[in-house]
Structures are given as structure tokens and as C-alpha cells.
Structure 1
Amino acid sequence: MASDEEKLTLARWLSKILIGLLVKETGLLFDRSRPSHGMIVDPGFIDELRHCHFVLQSGRKATSFRCLHSVFPFSMYSYRVPNHRLDRPFDFSTNVGGQSVSIRIGQLGAVFINDGGFQMEVGPEGPFGLLDSELSETQFKEISARVHYKASLRDATHFYLTVEDDESIQVEQLHVKSFSGYLPGTGELRIFDEWDETALSYAMSAYMGIERSMIFDEESRVCRTSLIDQEGKLMVWPKE
């Protein structure tokens, strides 16, 4: 189990990667044969990455966080992938709209979501409660796909108060604003749009590089999983 300082260090690194990728894509045409279609990422989208900026700024001076959902203003899950193929020491994927990034270097895999900690609110242990588990390469790809899909469903944001002096920075989450308002018939703010297994199946197919027909059960309308068995226990797979 990583310490809070180790988590913040890893999140700082992943924030830098996410911002770097998106900044680069603000200067790349979506379709070079049709320049009128604009860039891959609209430059204005970078302004949406304030959570990442808070994390990066913690590298300049001592920073304290007061957050509503977890210790830090982000969601992050880490895993071990000890039996990866030697010719595949690296794996990377991202969801631009959901502001999530997944990376595996050797045996360490991590998924970071620039969401203020919303996924930690609904699932602090990640999909199926498998935080810090040992996974196969395929399982890590699936869990990344599930987190990326969840990130794309975010329907809220945060308001912040920041205070900085010569020696330190204080970051406080004040409250949540839902884009859609309250859940029907309740006084609870909507944080995520409804989960849809059909939409998930397309995401899993794309991120895992597997035919959708192998993932989605048309009869039950539910995605198959490589992560847990029928008893809810982690499935152990041979080395890939």
C-alpha cells in the first residue's frame, strides 16, 4: 500500500503526462486533409484541467489539501502486473473527454482520473474492489477500460479556494456543482450519468483490442469480465 506522499508523487507525474499530451494535441490537426475541422483538442479545453494544475503546483512548495471525497483532488488506482510479457513492458491509454490516463511500466500499473476525487466517492477500491491486486495484462487493460468509461460519465465539477504564501499552498474543495442537477425524486446531486453496459462494451473492445462479440452477452445485455468469477473472487490467469 503506497503512502500518501507516494500517491501524490505518482499523481504529479501522471498529471504532467496528461497535460503534456493534451497541450500537444491542441497544435495537431484532427484531419490534416481537412484543416477546417480544427485541432484534435480545442485549446480552451486546457482550462478544464485545474485539478491537474493543483497537483503539479504541489511540486513547487508544501501543499495541503482539504477535499470532499478523499485525501487528494483526484482519483487514482494502482495495481501490480507481475507476469507481463517481457516484450511488452509498457502499456498506455487515455480518455481525453474523461480526463483519465492509464499507464503500466513493468509490473506497476496505475489509472489516474482528473476528476476532483469523484470516483473515490463512489468506489474508493476501484472496479470490483481490486485496488492493489495482482492482475494479468488483460485484466489491467479491462480495469483501465472500466475506469476510462466511468470517467466519461462524470456530470459534475468542484469549486475551490486556494491560498498561497511564500512557503506553502492550501487547496480546499468548497462544494460540488452538478451539470444536470439532482437525481430524479431525490435531494442528491447527480455526479455521474447512468452506467450503460452496451456503451461499456464498445469502450472495452476499443481499449482491450478485442472483438465486441467476445465481451458483450447479447442475451443478458451485460459485459463479460476477466476480473472476477461468479463468486466475486479475483480470477487468476496464467502468464500471457
Structure 2
Amino acid sequence: MQPLFRCGHVNRNEDRLSLARWLSKILIGILFKETSLLFDRSRPDRGLIVDPRFIDGLRQCHFVLQSARKPTSFNCLHGEFPFSFYSYRIPDYGKDRGFDLSTNVAGQSIAIRVGQLGVIFINDGGFQMHVGSKGPFGLAGAELSELQFREVAARVHYKAALRDATHFYLTAENEQQIQVEQLHVRSFSGCLPGSDELRIFRDWDEIGLSYAMSAYMRVDRSTIFDEETRSCRSTLPLQSR
């Protein structure tokens, strides 16, 4: 990963897969450790921090991880890979602020900035890429400030938590390679009202977004949310919105 972060940009699919594999490993690793730790050591009856069954929901991450041990071909419904991935350039940052990390466990998303490169991975089968291949405001690949990267991450994390559907997969393996194929989509709540279109995301809510932005951007919510218009203010470039 170090050469990619030093380079500061991601152009090749091979590099996107390498970064996605690394981010999958971190996301699973954080949660897997917590499946063995008590939520409250003084009250063992409260159980573990993370229920081991929750890891089963990260099966798509395992498909990505398996590509480390054998050549893997992906046949996906929404793009090249069974995940959503965005990258950004952050050339100006404080000398003591060379690293940033945020996650949304419910949405199975993770954002990391190392130096001048920020990347976001969502274990969603590619749903966010399907509705916006360039991410929030079409900014993927653009140059952002530290705070702007945190806002983009907040918006991606919030949308990840709104996901209301999943994919079915077929996998096969022989001595030479692994094959992963997305078969179809299943919505948890069915079709959109008055339509035969499957619901992929629950409704966007600016109030909910404001709390996410406040937490991920580390700023007071009053500076984010406009009570009069009931909408969130943004630090992102106007020409891209």
C-alpha cells in the first residue's frame, strides 16, 4: 500500500482492488477482534461487543480478501468489482495530521487518508457506484482539503447505512483461479411505492445526515445544519454540486 499512498492517486483497477482488499482486511479485523471482547467486563451477561453472527454479513469482504491468494475474476452487475470505491487527493495537510480513519459498522464502510491520498471502501456490492460512479457531488479523483475529505466520507458513510438491499452470489474455484459472480439483487423492504423498482436505499434525511457530518467532521452540528432551510451546509466546491 505504501507506494500507492506515496503516489497520491489511484488510476488502475489493479490498484483499486489492492486497496479494497487492504480496507476489507482492516474492516473485518476490527470487528473480528471485538467478537471475543466483552461489552462490559463488569457485567459479562451483557455479552460481547460484536455478535459473531454479524461477521457473516461481511461475506462480500471475504470474496475480496480471497483474491490475495489466487487470481480472481469478478462478474458484477454494477461495475468491475463487488464493492464501491472512491479516492481523493489531499495535497495540503498538517504535518501532525498525516492520518485519518473513520468507519460505519452498520453500513460496512471505511475511509482512510494516509498523507495525500484518501480512499473510501463500501462493502455494498457496488450499489453506491451504481447510483453515483464518482461519489458525492461527482468529486471522486478530485483535490480536497482534509475537512472536505471528512465531509465526503460522512456522506458516503451515511448513505452506506441507508442500504436496504443485498446481492446473491455464485462462487467457484479451481486450481488456477476463483470466480465470483453477482446473480441478482434482493431488497429487504421490496419495491418502491407505486413502482416495480426495487428499493435499494432508504430515504435520505438531511437531519440524520447533519448528525453524521457533525461526528465525522468533528465540528459542532450548529455549523452544519441550517434550521431555516432544514438542510446541511457543505464545504465542498460549489461548481461540483
TM above 0.5: yes
Q: CA deviation at 1:22?
A: 0.6
Q: Of 120, 136, 142, which residue of structure 1 is paired with 2:145?
A: 136
1:224 equivalenced with 2:219 (yes/no):
no
Q: CA deviation at 1:40?
A: 1.9
- The separation in 2 between residues aligned to 1:23 and 1:149, in whole angstroms, is 23
Matched, 1:36 2:9: no
Superposed CA offset, 1:183-210 (max 9, x none): 0001100000000000000011111111
Distance in 2 separating the partners of 1:172 and 1:161: 5
Q: Which residue of 2 aligns with 1:16?
A: 25
* Structure 2 Cα separation of the partners of residues 174 and 223 of structure 1: 37
Among candidates 76, 83, 87, match of residue 78 of structure 1:
87
Q: State the identity as a percent.
A: 69
Distance 1:39 1:6 in 2: 36
Q: CA deviation digits over 1:14-50, x for unaligned, max 9?
A: 0000000010111222233433222221110001111
User: SS at the partner of 2:111?
Assistant: strand
Cα distance in structure 2, aligned partners of 1:14 and 1:101: 7
Judged with a 3 Å threshold, the aligned counterparts in structure 2 of structure 1 residues 73 and 228 are, in CA distance, closer, same or farther, namely: same
Aligned CA RMSD, in angstroms, stands at 1.1
Amino acid at match of 2:119: A
SS at structure 2 position matched to 1:49: helix
Q: Structure 1 unaligned segments of length 5 or more: list them.
A: 235-240
Q: Which residue of 2 aligns with 1:4?
A: 13
Q: Are positions 1:210 and 2:219 aligned together?
A: yes
Alpha-carbon distance between aligned partners in 2 of 1:49 and 1:73, rounded to the nearest angstrom:
12
Residue deviations 1:126-178 (CA, integer Å, cap 9, x gap) = 00000011110000011000000000000000001111100101100000000
- d(CA) in 2 for partners of 1:161, 1:10: 23
Unaligned runs of 5+ in 2: 1-9
Q: Which amino acid aligns with 1:210?
A: V
Alignment-derived partner of residue 93 in structure 1:
102
d(CA) in 2 for partners of 1:87, 1:182:
48
Aligned residue number for residue 116 of structure 2? 107
Residues 30-39 or 157-166, more deviating:
30-39
